[in-house]
Amino acid sequence: MICAIALRFNSTKVVEMKIGFIGLGNMGKAMANVLLQKYPDLVVYNRTRSAADELEQAGAQVANSPIEVARQCEVVITMLSNDAVVEAVTLGDEGLSAGLAKDAIHISMSSISPNLSKQLAQHHAQAGQAYFAAPVFGRPDVAAKGNLWIVAGGNNDQIEHCRSILEAMSRGISIVSTDPSLANLVKITGNFTITAVMETLGETFALMQKSGIEPQAFLQVLNQVYQSPMYESYGTQIAQQRFDPALFALKLGLKDIRLVRQVADEADVPMPLVNLVYEHMLSAIAHGRAEQEWSSFAQVNAENAGLK
């Protein structure tokens, strides 16, 4: 059972801890920059060394491997692109687990499969280390302002111990379970609900355009009715076909939808809409949109309607 506790943070207290951050993509770099403001001895690592240059100039320490990060830190955060990378960074010969001290904490903030999250929790427990999942909702521009929403799952004492770290990056947190994997389930399923909005917008914009109403004009109505930042943001992207540069690439969105389909299959839960979104995403990638903003898959509806 998931029991969500939503907390908004106002505390300015910072607990003294040496923190490491692994993964400096669009999201990771924004999050690490925010952390560096409160934890000036932050240790960072990225497979492509140049991604750490900006943080190093701001005062962060740059490590040469995940194990080197872990050897220096009480808490190590990972923000990585997929299961394979998280597994390699955590469990490899030079992985963070090999360098993490007893009772030190790994916070996985990546969007990964619930199955891998279970595996990581078991591995760290056997090694005498702590682990909890804390994936996030929000784009890099939101992360840069410290306004993410965090979904946490794991041991409550461990989450509480890291409260100041989570506060630094977010406007609030939902603690959904003592099982870390359920936080990952909430995250990937939440991403599916976002793509469902995109699919709806793509379909309705195609109908509006073929009927003689500009998508942007229809979006203005929706914005008045729903007053939703999600409709406004993604609706504008789709209506204006503004998909470059990507803050969250379509290929990463497809990864999350694949994970939702896998979990739904394992749970014997029919999800017809997730299958439709998956097919439209796959079609968009086949037509060269993999590196575009993930909302670009909604254009498949326009193309299917014979629109350019």
C-alpha span between 216 and 2 (Å, rounded)? 39
Q: How many CB atoms lie within 10 A of CB 213?
A: 14
What are residue 149's DSSP bridge partners?
137, 172
Compute the distance between CA of residue 55 and CA of residue 256 in angstroms, rounded to an integer: 28
Cβ neighbors of 82 (< 8 A, separation 6 or more) are 110, 112, 252, 255
Three-state SS annotation for 188-253:
HHHHHHHHHHHHHHHHHHHHHHHHCCCHHHHHHHHHHHHCCHHHHHHHHHHHHCCCCCCCCEHHHH
What residues contact residue 142 under an 8 Å CB cut-off, 6+ apart?
148
Which residues partner with 105 through β-bridges? Answer: 75, 130
Say if CB 169 and CB 143 are below 8 A apart.
yes
User: Choosing from 18, 38, 187, 255, which is the catalytic residue?
Assistant: 187
| CA atoms in the 13 A half-sphere facing the CB of 152 | 28
The question of whether 255 is a catalytic residue gets the answer: no
Tell me how far apart the alpha carbons of residues 153 and 162 are, in angstroms, rounded to a whole number.
13
Catalytic residues: 187
